[in-house]
Structure 1
Protein backbone atom coordinates (compact mmCIF):
# COMPACT_ATOMS: atom_id res chain seq x y z
CA UNK A 1 0.00 0.00 0.00
CA UNK A 2 1.54 3.27 -1.05
CA UNK A 3 0.66 6.50 0.64
CA UNK A 4 0.05 8.88 -2.24
CA UNK A 5 -0.41 12.60 -2.01
CA UNK A 6 -3.45 13.76 -3.94
CA UNK A 7 -2.68 15.95 -6.95
CA UNK A 8 -6.16 17.38 -6.99
CA UNK A 9 -6.23 21.10 -7.76
CA UNK A 10 -6.67 23.35 -4.76
CA UNK A 11 -8.68 26.53 -4.47
CA UNK A 12 -6.60 29.73 -4.42
CA UNK A 13 -8.21 32.69 -2.71
CA UNK A 14 -7.78 36.14 -4.21
CA UNK A 15 -8.11 37.75 -0.79
CA UNK A 16 -5.44 35.53 0.76
CA UNK A 17 -3.13 36.15 -2.20
CA UNK A 18 -3.52 39.93 -1.95
CA UNK A 19 -3.00 39.81 1.83
CA UNK A 20 0.13 37.66 1.45
CA UNK A 21 1.47 40.12 -1.12
CA UNK A 22 0.75 43.02 1.25
CA UNK A 23 2.20 41.51 4.44
CA UNK A 24 4.86 39.08 3.18
CA UNK A 25 5.18 39.87 -0.53
CA UNK A 26 8.82 40.91 -0.34
CA UNK A 27 9.50 37.38 0.91
CA UNK A 28 7.65 35.92 -2.09
CA UNK A 29 4.80 34.46 0.00
CA UNK A 30 2.12 35.32 -2.56
CA UNK A 31 4.14 33.69 -5.35
CA UNK A 32 4.72 30.52 -3.32
CA UNK A 33 1.01 30.40 -2.43
CA UNK A 34 -0.02 30.61 -6.09
CA UNK A 35 2.72 28.66 -7.86
CA UNK A 36 4.46 26.54 -5.22
CA UNK A 37 8.02 26.24 -3.98
CA UNK A 38 9.49 25.98 -7.46
CA UNK A 39 8.46 29.50 -8.49
CA UNK A 40 11.63 31.33 -9.51
CA UNK A 41 10.13 34.79 -8.93
CA UNK A 42 9.21 33.89 -5.36
CA UNK A 43 12.84 33.00 -4.71
CA UNK A 44 13.98 36.22 -6.42
CA UNK A 45 11.74 38.20 -4.04
CA UNK A 46 13.26 36.40 -1.07
CA UNK A 47 16.88 36.82 -2.22
CA UNK A 48 16.40 40.51 -3.03
CA UNK A 49 14.90 41.14 0.40
CA UNK A 50 17.76 39.29 2.07
CA UNK A 51 20.18 41.50 0.14
CA UNK A 52 18.20 44.65 0.92
CA UNK A 53 18.17 44.27 4.70
CA UNK A 54 21.96 44.59 5.18
CA UNK A 55 21.94 47.34 2.55
CA UNK A 56 19.49 49.43 4.57
CA UNK A 57 21.45 48.73 7.75
CA UNK A 58 24.64 49.91 6.02
CA UNK A 59 22.89 53.07 4.83
CA UNK A 60 21.62 53.84 8.32
CA UNK A 61 25.04 53.18 9.89
CA UNK A 62 26.87 55.31 7.30
CA UNK A 63 24.26 58.09 7.16
CA UNK A 64 23.47 57.17 3.52
CA UNK A 65 27.12 57.38 2.43
CA UNK A 66 27.77 53.71 1.72
CA UNK A 67 27.86 52.82 -1.98
CA UNK A 68 27.57 49.14 -1.12
CA UNK A 69 24.55 49.97 1.02
CA UNK A 70 22.82 51.63 -1.94
CA UNK A 71 23.68 48.71 -4.24
CA UNK A 72 22.24 46.20 -1.77
CA UNK A 73 19.20 48.28 -0.79
CA UNK A 74 17.90 48.77 -4.34
CA UNK A 75 16.93 45.11 -5.00
CA UNK A 76 15.21 44.97 -1.61
CA UNK A 77 13.26 48.12 -2.39
CA UNK A 78 12.26 46.81 -5.82
CA UNK A 79 11.03 43.59 -4.21
CA UNK A 80 9.02 45.55 -1.64
CA UNK A 81 7.42 47.85 -4.22
CA UNK A 82 6.67 44.91 -6.54
CA UNK A 83 4.93 43.16 -3.64
CA UNK A 84 2.67 46.17 -2.96
CA UNK A 85 1.94 46.46 -6.68
CA UNK A 86 1.10 42.75 -6.81
CA UNK A 87 -1.35 43.17 -3.93
CA UNK A 88 -3.06 45.96 -5.87
CA UNK A 89 -3.14 44.04 -9.17
CA UNK A 90 -4.39 40.80 -7.61
CA UNK A 91 -6.93 42.62 -5.45
CA UNK A 92 -8.42 44.57 -8.34
CA UNK A 93 -8.69 41.60 -10.69
CA UNK A 94 -12.34 40.60 -11.24
CA UNK A 95 -13.35 37.37 -9.52
CA UNK A 96 -14.32 35.72 -12.82
CA UNK A 97 -10.92 36.43 -14.35
CA UNK A 98 -9.18 35.26 -11.16
CA UNK A 99 -11.13 31.99 -11.15
CA UNK A 100 -10.45 31.42 -14.85
CA UNK A 101 -6.70 31.67 -14.24
CA UNK A 102 -6.24 30.07 -10.81
CA UNK A 103 -9.37 28.06 -10.03
CA UNK A 104 -10.45 26.66 -13.40
CA UNK A 105 -9.99 23.07 -12.21
CA UNK A 106 -11.94 23.48 -8.96
CA UNK A 107 -15.65 23.69 -8.23
CA UNK A 108 -15.23 26.50 -5.71
CA UNK A 109 -15.53 30.12 -6.90
CA UNK A 110 -14.14 33.36 -5.48
CA UNK A 111 -16.36 35.85 -3.69
CA UNK A 112 -14.26 38.84 -2.79
CA UNK A 113 -15.53 41.20 -0.15
CA UNK A 114 -14.40 44.30 1.66
CA UNK A 115 -11.24 42.68 3.02
CA UNK A 116 -9.57 42.66 -0.39
CA UNK A 117 -10.59 46.29 -0.95
CA UNK A 118 -8.91 47.32 2.31
CA UNK A 119 -5.77 45.38 1.32
CA UNK A 120 -5.71 47.29 -1.98
CA UNK A 121 -6.25 50.64 -0.25
CA UNK A 122 -3.49 50.06 2.30
CA UNK A 123 -1.14 48.69 -0.37
CA UNK A 124 -1.61 51.81 -2.45
CA UNK A 125 -1.22 54.13 0.54
CA UNK A 126 1.83 52.47 2.14
CA UNK A 127 3.50 51.64 -1.17
CA UNK A 128 3.17 55.22 -2.44
CA UNK A 129 4.37 56.62 0.88
CA UNK A 130 7.45 54.39 0.88
CA UNK A 131 8.18 55.20 -2.76
CA UNK A 132 8.00 58.95 -2.13
CA UNK A 133 10.17 58.61 0.98
CA UNK A 134 12.75 56.58 -0.92
CA UNK A 135 12.85 59.05 -3.78
CA UNK A 136 13.16 62.02 -1.40
CA UNK A 137 16.05 60.40 0.48
CA UNK A 138 17.77 59.40 -2.76
CA UNK A 139 17.54 62.90 -4.25
CA UNK A 140 18.61 64.51 -0.97
CA UNK A 141 21.66 62.24 -0.80
CA UNK A 142 22.53 62.96 -4.42
CA UNK A 143 22.28 66.73 -4.06
CA UNK A 144 24.22 66.72 -0.79
CA UNK A 145 27.01 64.80 -2.50
CA UNK A 146 27.02 67.33 -5.34
CA UNK A 147 27.35 70.22 -2.87
CA UNK A 148 30.24 68.44 -1.13
CA UNK A 149 31.94 67.82 -4.48
CA UNK A 150 31.55 71.48 -5.42
CA UNK A 151 33.03 72.56 -2.07
CA UNK A 152 35.97 70.23 -2.58
CA UNK A 153 36.58 71.67 -6.07
CA UNK A 154 36.45 75.26 -4.87
CA UNK A 155 39.12 74.74 -2.23
Structure 2
Protein backbone atom coordinates (compact mmCIF):
# COMPACT_ATOMS: atom_id res chain seq x y z
CA UNK A 1 0.00 0.00 0.00
CA UNK A 2 2.80 2.31 0.76
CA UNK A 3 4.34 1.62 -2.57
CA UNK A 4 1.14 2.62 -4.36
CA UNK A 5 0.99 5.92 -2.51
CA UNK A 6 4.55 6.71 -3.39
CA UNK A 7 4.02 5.77 -7.01
CA UNK A 8 0.76 7.74 -7.24
CA UNK A 9 2.13 10.87 -5.59
CA UNK A 10 3.78 13.08 -8.18
CA UNK A 11 7.22 14.16 -7.30
CA UNK A 12 7.54 17.88 -6.99
CA UNK A 13 10.52 19.31 -8.70
CA UNK A 14 11.97 22.47 -7.31
CA UNK A 15 11.50 25.28 -9.80
CA UNK A 16 14.68 27.07 -10.65
CA UNK A 17 14.81 29.86 -8.12
CA UNK A 18 14.89 33.36 -9.62
CA UNK A 19 17.81 35.52 -8.70
CA UNK A 20 17.01 37.39 -5.52
CA UNK A 21 18.43 40.34 -3.65
CA UNK A 22 17.82 41.85 -0.25
CA UNK A 23 15.86 45.05 0.37
CA UNK A 24 18.09 47.65 1.96
CA UNK A 25 15.17 48.95 4.08
CA UNK A 26 13.46 45.86 5.48
CA UNK A 27 16.01 43.15 4.67
CA UNK A 28 13.47 40.90 2.93
CA UNK A 29 14.21 38.87 -0.18
CA UNK A 30 12.92 40.47 -3.36
CA UNK A 31 13.46 39.76 -7.07
CA UNK A 32 16.71 41.09 -8.45
CA UNK A 33 15.06 43.35 -11.04
CA UNK A 34 12.63 44.93 -8.56
CA UNK A 35 12.78 48.70 -8.21
CA UNK A 36 10.27 48.81 -5.35
CA UNK A 37 10.36 46.34 -2.49
CA UNK A 38 7.42 43.93 -2.68
CA UNK A 39 7.40 43.61 1.10
CA UNK A 40 7.77 47.11 2.49
CA UNK A 41 6.86 49.15 -0.61
CA UNK A 42 9.88 51.46 -0.48
CA UNK A 43 12.02 52.31 -3.48
CA UNK A 44 15.12 50.14 -3.61
CA UNK A 45 16.82 51.42 -6.78
CA UNK A 46 16.70 54.45 -9.00
CA UNK A 47 14.40 54.10 -11.96
CA UNK A 48 16.50 53.67 -15.07
CA UNK A 49 15.50 56.36 -17.50
CA UNK A 50 18.35 55.86 -19.92
CA UNK A 51 16.07 53.84 -22.17
CA UNK A 52 13.51 56.62 -22.50
CA UNK A 53 14.72 59.47 -24.65
CA UNK A 54 14.28 62.90 -23.17
CA UNK A 55 11.97 65.11 -25.26
CA UNK A 56 13.58 68.11 -26.87
CA UNK A 57 11.86 71.25 -25.56
CA UNK A 58 12.39 74.42 -27.51
CA UNK A 59 11.11 77.69 -26.11
CA UNK A 60 10.85 80.65 -28.43
CA UNK A 61 10.11 83.67 -26.27
CA UNK A 62 9.88 86.46 -28.80
CA UNK A 63 7.47 88.61 -26.81
CA UNK A 64 8.09 92.20 -27.80
CA UNK A 65 4.79 93.46 -26.42
CA UNK A 66 5.08 96.68 -24.49
CA UNK A 67 2.11 97.23 -22.24
CA UNK A 68 0.97 100.81 -22.34
CA UNK A 69 -2.25 102.02 -20.86
CA UNK A 70 -3.92 104.42 -23.25
CA UNK A 71 -7.14 104.77 -21.25
CA UNK A 72 -5.90 107.32 -18.75
CA UNK A 73 -6.02 111.01 -19.54
CA UNK A 74 -3.62 112.20 -16.85
CA UNK A 75 -0.05 111.08 -16.44
CA UNK A 76 0.54 108.64 -13.63
CA UNK A 77 -2.37 106.39 -14.51
CA UNK A 78 -4.71 107.89 -11.91
CA UNK A 79 -7.78 108.26 -14.09
CA UNK A 80 -9.97 111.29 -14.69
CA UNK A 81 -9.79 114.03 -12.13
CA UNK A 82 -13.13 115.04 -10.57
CA UNK A 83 -13.93 117.83 -8.13
CA UNK A 84 -15.28 116.55 -4.81
CA UNK A 85 -17.53 119.55 -4.18
CA UNK A 86 -19.21 119.45 -7.58
CA UNK A 87 -19.96 115.74 -7.13
CA UNK A 88 -21.24 116.38 -3.59
CA UNK A 89 -23.65 119.11 -4.72
CA UNK A 90 -24.87 116.96 -7.62
CA UNK A 91 -25.44 114.09 -5.19
CA UNK A 92 -27.35 116.36 -2.82
CA UNK A 93 -29.66 117.95 -5.41
CA UNK A 94 -29.74 115.46 -8.30
CA UNK A 95 -28.79 112.24 -6.51
CA UNK A 96 -32.21 110.65 -7.05
CA UNK A 97 -31.78 110.92 -10.82
CA UNK A 98 -28.09 109.91 -10.74
CA UNK A 99 -26.58 113.32 -11.52
CA UNK A 100 -23.37 112.64 -9.61
CA UNK A 101 -22.95 109.28 -11.33
CA UNK A 102 -23.29 110.85 -14.76
CA UNK A 103 -20.72 113.49 -13.69
CA UNK A 104 -18.26 110.73 -12.73
CA UNK A 105 -18.76 109.08 -16.12
CA UNK A 106 -20.55 106.04 -14.70
CA UNK A 107 -23.41 106.04 -17.20
CA UNK A 108 -24.72 102.59 -16.26
CA UNK A 109 -24.98 103.46 -12.59
CA UNK A 110 -26.56 106.81 -13.53
CA UNK A 111 -29.30 105.03 -15.48
CA UNK A 112 -29.83 102.62 -12.58
CA UNK A 113 -30.19 105.55 -10.16
CA UNK A 114 -32.55 107.23 -12.63
CA UNK A 115 -34.94 104.27 -12.74
CA UNK A 116 -34.75 103.33 -9.04
CA UNK A 117 -34.81 106.83 -7.54
CA UNK A 118 -31.22 106.62 -6.34
CA UNK A 119 -31.50 102.99 -5.27
CA UNK A 120 -34.55 103.96 -3.21
CA UNK A 121 -32.64 106.75 -1.48
CA UNK A 122 -30.20 104.39 0.22
CA UNK A 123 -27.67 104.65 -2.60
CA UNK A 124 -27.79 108.44 -2.54
CA UNK A 125 -27.20 108.52 1.22
CA UNK A 126 -24.25 106.11 0.96
CA UNK A 127 -22.77 108.06 -1.96
CA UNK A 128 -23.15 111.37 -0.11
CA UNK A 129 -21.25 110.04 2.93
CA UNK A 130 -18.60 108.45 0.69
CA UNK A 131 -18.10 111.68 -1.25
CA UNK A 132 -17.69 113.64 1.99
CA UNK A 133 -14.63 111.60 2.93
CA UNK A 134 -12.96 111.60 -0.51
CA UNK A 135 -9.97 113.87 -1.13
CA UNK A 136 -10.29 116.84 -3.44
CA UNK A 137 -9.67 116.23 -6.32
CA UNK A 138 -10.44 112.54 -6.55
CA UNK A 139 -9.87 110.27 -9.53
CA UNK A 140 -12.41 108.09 -11.28
**Please, what TM-score do these two structures have when normalized by structure 1?**
0.17
Larger relative contact order (C-alpha < 8 A, sep ≥ 6)?
Answer: 1
**Please, what TM-score do these two structures have when normalized by structure 2?**
0.18
Query: Which has the greater radius of gyration?
Result: 2
